[in-house]
Amino acid sequence: IVPRSRWGDFARALPSKLCGGIDFGWENHSVVGIIGVDQEGRVYVPLVYGGAHLSDEEFGEIVRKIRDKLGVKLFFADSAHPKGIEAIKLAGVLNIKKAEKHIGRAEDFSSGIGSINYLMKRRMPDGSPVLKVNAEDRGCRVLDREIRHYRHPDNPHPETKAVSERPIHVGDDRCDA
């Protein structure tokens, strides 16, 4: 987690390089997370918004405001909630696609959490981290905590049984986005 003031030139180029991930919830938070990649391959998370007990229409307005403020070009949303996707479109956000879900182990970088784990371990040639999460954004600080606590079930018999590819779903709303 890195203060945005230390991000360098990317902070000035944010609007042309951002996309968003969306996960819907009610008791659990509805979340939109914004991500961008610079020319050298650094991955930035400038903003993560999460709110509970939001109607699809209220959440659609929030997504529209984030898009307008940051110039987000494309959103990927949880395909399990088509009504939520439609509400976001009705709010004026037409650049939204259904996310292709892939469940995998934390070591499998083709899954969402596997990608985050992979990025957390990678370093730039100068030794700095590839993944930069905005320390000044409250939602990003919560995401950082969620990533560090994300777990799969323990494997009691590693020699005979494979660990479930499904994570333990506790406090991972932002990870899902």
What is the tens place of the pLDDT at every residue in 111-136? 566 677 788 788 999 998 888 888 88
**Do residues 91 and 60 touch, judged by C-beta distance below 8 A?**
yes
Q: Is the pLDDT of residue 109 over 60?
A: no
CA distance 40 to 43: 9
Residue of higher predicted confidence among 165 and 146: 146
Q: Which position has the higher pLDDT, 22 or 104?
A: 22
pLDDT at 15 over 50: no
Evaluate the CA torsion angle 95, 24, 162, 156 in order and state its sign.
positive
With a cut of 80, say whether residue 78 has pLDDT above it.
Answer: yes
Confidence label for 147 from pLDDT (cuts 50, 70 and 90): confident
- Single-letter code of the amino acid located at 32: V
CB of 168 closer than 8 Å to CB of 80? no
Residue with tokens 């905005």: 134
- Least confident interval from 8-12, 21-25, 47-51, 88-92: 8-12
Residue 59: band (very low, low, confident or very high) from pLDDT cuts 50, 70, 90: very high
For position 146, what pLDDT does the model report? 79
Query: What residue ranges in 10-93 does DSSP mark as E strands?
Result: 18-23, 30-37, 43-51, 74-77
Region 52-71: mean pLDDT is 93
2: Cβ contacts below 8 Å, ≥ 6 apart: 129, 132, 133, 134, 135
**Taking residues 87-108, what's their average pLDDT?**
79
pLDDT, averaged across the chain: 79
How far apart (Å, rounded) are the C-alpha atoms in residues 128 and 118?
15
Over residues 139-146, mean pLDDT:
84
